[in-house]
Amino acid sequence: MEILFDIGAVIVFLLLIITVPRAVWNEKPQGPGSRVLFGFVILMVIIFATVSLSTAAGLIATSSSLSHVVLLAVWVLVAILARVAWSPKPIR
C-alpha cells in the first residue's frame, strides 16, 4: 500500500511542476516583468511541490487511516484542478 501512495505522491508532484507554469505561460503576462513573474512562479511551484512530496511521505509513514484518506482527497482535488488547467479554453 505504501508503494501506491509513493507513486501517487510522485504523480501529484509532476502534475504540479508541469501544470502551473504551463497555465501561467498560456496566459502570456505582458510587461517588462513577465519573464521575472514566470520564473518566480516556477520557483514557488517547485518549492511547494517538494514540500508537498515530503509531507506526503511523512503522512504515508504513519499508520493512521484518517491521514491516508485526507491525503487521497487532496490528491484527487489536485488532479481535478490540473485537468481543468489542461482543458481547452472556449472560443470567445
In a domain, 10, yes or no: yes
In a domain, 82, yes or no: yes
**Which residues span the domain enclosing 38?**
2-86
Is the CA virtual torsion 82, 48, 38, 17 positive or negative? Answer: negative
In a domain, 59, yes or no: yes
Q: What are phi and psi of 49, to 5 degrees?
A: -65, -40
In a domain, 70, yes or no: yes
Residue carrying C-alpha cell 501517487: 8
In a domain, 47, yes or no: yes
The pLDDT tens digits along the chain (92 residues) read 677 777 777 787 787 778 777 777 777 767 777 778 778 888 888 888 788 778 777 777 776 778 777 777 887 887 777 777 666 666 55
In a domain, 91, yes or no: no
Cα distance between residue 30 and residue 11, in whole Å: 31
In a domain, 43, yes or no: yes
pTM: 0.61
What domain count does the chain have? 1
In a domain, 57, yes or no: yes
